[in-house]
Chains A and B, each alone.
Chain A
């Protein structure tokens, strides 16, 4: 059982990798940004685990800014992806403008919340 799961995992990994290389370049850039933002959030959580969570609002604003911008980037990726039929009427420029606006609001609130 463990061996077949291990084999499964390896084949899984390979097929995922080959499928992923087929995605267009702009989507891969967005994915890279998402990975960066999530890793920043994880680093902050690890730091909080080490030194304690005071002041809590600063910790929350830091983590939420990383998570927030990651989530917004995923939304952008969804809207820009040509395979999504629901968004075919949405121009990439409009999607990008919405992304920028939401990020602006997000970071303004974060600045207020940092304390």
Chain B
């Protein structure tokens, strides 16, 4: 009995290990050395398999994120990462003390920004630590390379954490599948490709790590694990504003456990230690400050903390008394007083304004229509829109239907850990439905729960296969989970299908999983690997054409303008201008001051003379606009213009949106509204465009992004002059003329 599994396993072990390292094992085999001759026991073979699979998954998670580095170059993508890069550069050059107390006068002119107190330092400190470690080891890399590759590195680490988490919830087979699924899941890749140097790259690792440590603490009841989870929570708070999810999910989980009667002493130890130490550590981050005791979003944790004290105190008294009648009396007195005190405190706190209500960012998650009516800046970001089904399918594919299957398995075997993952999955899926960006937070839960479904199903199927002593190879299945199932001697009579059915289903499972892998790689390659700052298109002959206009413009700014020049542009480009152009900007992506942004929006939407007054009052030297009419680039300022009008109009009622529309339509051609045809944004975008022929067969002045011929071709600028237009007309820079002399 013991002989056959040993003989079967080495074959599957060598089969699976041979596939990716084919040449190596054939070399070994040719030298008459095989795994079989190592005479490993089953446990050691399992360990070898697991370690091999984990190593492969680790490497896979890293390399699948490198598409853009291979296609373009190692550069930072998008907008926000440029700010993170600039701050990391500052940290490595000036040291931590300067970084922590940094006041930046190069953005939000003339207000400046207290960077030290308004950022989440986790990402920058992590990258700086990696950089300094490499320097100590005498690897002289540039900090930019470290920044570009931080996110893939942490994605690999996330797969490891997913393995341990899966092992904690279900078993090591589920852990392996979870690690493999999350390594390539597009929902996670979208924010963690190489070059996407943003908070989420590190934050998802911190999130999953904190959850794993907390579940481990609840399972073991050890103070050491709770301390570790408090540190995990501290890392999460330092990395991302989404830590609010943790500080609300964990109290909710504790509440659910209390209500369903599954509480135990371990829960008390785990939650209390984590809450107190986690809260104290979190308050060390200046940006978070005292929010843990003052903000409405964190009150749930405090409420559950006090509830736990009361609950366990009552439990202890009940245990001491051993007499129900007396206990009832005690219960009456205590509960009424506790509830009264609690409600009074909460009421006084909220009414007096001491406990601040939920901020708009998080309130719009509970009430999705809130942002559109009250906070246009939040509503204007495309990532904050509600999610369409196609996005779910695009980002998850087969995980979408494996998720309910996994929920079924979790409900079949309810433990503290599975209750947690079910709650995490359901709440994160709700929020993912409200906002596209939050698919990222749901991805680890979906991968873990789907992994449970995959692992449990394949385990059942292979048990059917291995039921008879004549063992059929089930080495096709992914993750090697079959090799870990011990061969059960008896066939479970309740299985509705025989061996052939099991083989067919295993083939089906393998087919689905391979389709998932293909889809993920395709999505990564096509959709999520574009740097956004460099655009690519196919030329007429199928060759690749690269538009590097953004960097061309920023470097023109850097080299051809006075060092103290101020640049006005829409807030999207602020971070990039400061990081690459090294010039002071008026507004940037931090969007902390709505009135300032509205001022810029008002300037862009006004006639040239009114705009000139605003620009002179802000000391603006140069204006930068992004224009896609020549290349057909659709994310340009004319397409964003209505948001400028809305945001400007939200603060200055003189800007009215209907003035720019014709019968509710937004047009730039001859039939456009007169205010639209003469506003500053229109003039700056289409200056000299009327003479340009963009497409064969179309009249001059044909806007390829909007697909119409523009209305006002004869544009004259009185207060600005054109300073620079990039080679494909994507970025246009204008110089503000000084005021005329008065005679």
Binding site for B on A (CB under 8 A): 5, 8-9, 11-12, 15-16, 19-20, 56-57, 60-61, 64, 67-68, 71-72, 74-76, 78-79, 84, 86-87, 90, 95, 98-99, 101-102, 105-106, 109-110, 112-113
With beta carbons under 8 angstroms apart, the residue of B276, B290, B322, B330 that contacts A71 is: B276
Total A-B pairs, Cβ < 8 A: 94
Pairwise interchain contact B277-A106, C-beta atoms closer than 8 A: yes
Size of interface on B: residues with Cβ below 8 Å to A: 32
Pairwise interchain contact A112-B276, C-beta atoms closer than 8 A: no
With beta carbons under 8 angstroms apart, the residue of A9, A11, A15, A98 that contacts B223 is: A98
Pairwise interchain contact B280-A99, C-beta atoms closer than 8 A: no
Pairwise interchain contact A75-B268, C-beta atoms closer than 8 A: yes
Q: Which of chain B's residues has its CB closest to A8's CB? A: B329
List chain B residues, Cβ under 8 A from A86.
221, 264-266
Q: Which of chain A's residues has its CB closest to B294's CB? A: A56
List chain A residues, Cβ under 8 A from B284.
109, 112-113
Pairwise interchain contact A84-B280, C-beta atoms closer than 8 A: no
User: Known: A16-B317, A75-B268, A78-B265. Contact between A5 and B273, CB under 8 A?
Assistant: no
List chain B residues, Cβ under 8 A from A110.
280
User: Known: A79-B223, A106-B277. Contact between A113 and B283, CB under 8 A?
Assistant: yes
Q: How far is the CB of A32 from chain B (nearest CB, A)?
A: 16
Tell me whether chain A's interface is mostly helix, strand or loop, or mixed: helix
Pairwise interchain contact A99-B320, C-beta atoms closer than 8 A: no
Q: Which of chain B's residues has its CB closest to A7's CB? A: B329
In the complex, what distance in Å separates the CA atom of A19 from the CA atom of B290? 42
Q: How far is the CB of A12 from chain B (nearest CB, A)?
A: 5
User: Known: A86-B221, A102-B223. Contact between A75 and B280, CB under 8 A?
Assistant: no
Q: How far is the CB of A3 from chain B (nearest CB, A)?
A: 13
In the complex, what distance in Å separates the CA atom of A106 from the CA atom of B317? 29
The 10 closest A-B pairs by CB, nearest first: A98-B223, A8-B329, A19-B320, A68-B276, A75-B269, A71-B272, A109-B280, A78-B265, A98-B224, A12-B326
Q: How far is the CB of A19 from chain B (nearest CB, A)?
A: 4
What are 11 A-B pairs with beta-carbon distances under 8 A? A19-B322, A20-B320, A75-B269, A87-B265, A90-B222, A98-B222, A102-B227, A102-B277, A105-B230, A109-B281, A110-B280
In the complex, what distance in Å separates the CA atom of A15 from the CA atom of B326? 9
List chain B residues, Cβ under 8 A from A112.
284
List chain A residues, Cβ under 8 A from B333.
5, 9
In the complex, what distance in Å separates the CA atom of A72 from the CA atom of B227? 11
List chain B residues, Cβ under 8 A from A5.
329, 333
With beta carbons under 8 angstroms apart, the residue of A15, A20, A79 that contacts B269 is: A79
In the complex, what distance in Å separates the CA atom of A71 from the CA atom of B278? 13
List chain B residues, Cβ under 8 A from A113.
280, 283-284
Pairwise interchain contact A64-B280, C-beta atoms closer than 8 A: yes
Q: B125: CB under 8 A from chain A? A: no
User: Known: A56-B290, A72-B223, A109-B284. Contact between A12 and B276, CB under 8 A?
Assistant: no
Q: Which of chain B's residues has its CB closest to A106's CB? A: B277
In the complex, what distance in Å separates the CA atom of A60 from the CA atom of B230? 18
Q: B314: CB under 8 A from chain A? A: no
In the complex, what distance in Å separates the CA atom of A112 from the CA atom of B100? 15
Q: B580: CB under 8 A from chain A? A: no
Q: Which of chain B's residues has its CB closest to A95's CB? A: B223
List chain B residues, Cβ under 8 A from A84.
265
Pairwise interchain contact B222-A15, C-beta atoms closer than 8 A: no
In the complex, what distance in Å separates the CA atom of A90 from the CA atom of B279? 27
Pairwise interchain contact A106-B329, C-beta atoms closer than 8 A: no
Q: Which of chain A's residues has its CB closest to B305's CB? A: A71
With beta carbons under 8 angstroms apart, the residue of A12, A56, A98 that contacts B330 is: A12
Q: How far is the CB of A87 from chain B (nearest CB, A)?
A: 6
List chain A residues, Cβ under 8 A from B281.
109
Q: B293: CB under 8 A from chain A? A: yes
A-contact bits for B256-295, CB 8 A (1 contact / 0 none): 0000000011101100110011011101100000100100
Q: Which of chain A's residues has its CB closest to B330's CB? A: A12
List chain B residues, Cβ under 8 A from A78.
265, 268-269
List chain A residues, Cβ under 8 A from B269.
75, 78-79
